[in-house]
């Protein structure tokens, strides 16, 4: 395993999709489940690049659909690591519709937590994240707040309704 600390930039992933008829729901908009799959794939790629190990998604939160997207729209999805704990990484994924003039409009923002897995398939210690810019440091601080909220929710059994 490679434990070299990495910068945020080293694991950034950007993917592009053109919306096809099979990606649409009955209302003629991009189906939310299709976008969620694309987002999860980007987050997993980011986490794999940072950790250089197998990863699994532990949670998705703050998944906000801000605007719809339609057939033939060009969708750009960008993911980056915002925080690295002992064995978990937070990845922020932003989705845009790109117009023909190259301008991008944000349509979705999501935060995913992915866990690095060792050869025994158990959570494994991750390489550190190098924060180079003020933006990296701000993202880290915001991620720490989300991380503690997530932990509190887990402790309170928030994510297991009815149990
Ligand atoms: C995610 C998983 C590996 C965590 O295993 P675990 O034994 O509970 O792990 P731990 O309690 O040791 O926690 C490991 C890390 O995961 C984090 N974590 C655990 N559950 C989490 C959750 N629901 N949301 C966010 N982070 C979580 C912990 O905070 C910890 O982070 P840290 O090491 O950076 O401090 C385990 O619950 C699992 O395998 N879940 C299924 C994942 C899966 O199949 N995903 C695909 C969905 S189809």
* pLDDT for position 162: 47
Structural domains in the chain, sorted by start: 7-155 (3.10.129.10)
Rounded mean pLDDT, 69-95: 97
- Residue nearest atom 2 in ligand 1 by C-alpha distance: 58
Q: What mean pLDDT is predicted for residues 90-102?
A: 96
Q: Which residues line ligand 1 (CB under 6 A)?
A: 56-59, 85-88, 113, 115, 123, 150, 154
Q: How far is CA 152 from CA 69, 133, 145, 146, 148, in A?
A: 35, 29, 11, 10, 6
What is the tens place of the pLDDT at every residue in 4-61?
Answer: 999 999 999 999 999 999 999 999 999 999 999 999 999 999 999 999 999 999 999 8
Mean pLDDT estimate for the chain = 94
**Mutate which of 89, 110, 123 to test ligand 1's pocket (most atoms within 8 Å of Cβ)?**
123
- pLDDT for the residue numbered 1: 59
48 alpha carbon to ligand 1 midpoint, in Å?
Answer: 16
pLDDT recorded at residue 60: 94
């Amino acid at each position: 395993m490679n434990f070299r600390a990495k910068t945020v930039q080293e694991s950034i992933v950007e993917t592009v999709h053109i919306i096809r008829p099979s990606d649409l729901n009955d209302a003629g908009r991009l189906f939310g489940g299709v976008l969620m799959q694309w987002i999860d794939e980007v987050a997993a790629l980011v986490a794999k690049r940072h950790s250089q190990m197998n990863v699994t998604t532990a949670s998705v939160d703050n998944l906000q659909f801000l605007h719809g997207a339609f057939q033939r729209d060009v969708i750009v999805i960008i993911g980056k690591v915002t925080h690295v704990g002992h064995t978990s990484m937070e990845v922020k994924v932003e989705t845009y519709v790109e117009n023909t003039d190259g301008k991008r409009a944000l349509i979705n923002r999501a935060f995913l937590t992915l866990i690095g897995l060792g050869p025994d398939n158990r959570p494994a210690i991750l390489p550190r994240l190098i924060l180079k810019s003020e933006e990296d440091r701000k993202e880290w601080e915001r991620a720490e707040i989300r991380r503690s909220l997530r932990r509190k929710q887990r402790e309170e059994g928030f994510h297991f309704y009815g149990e």
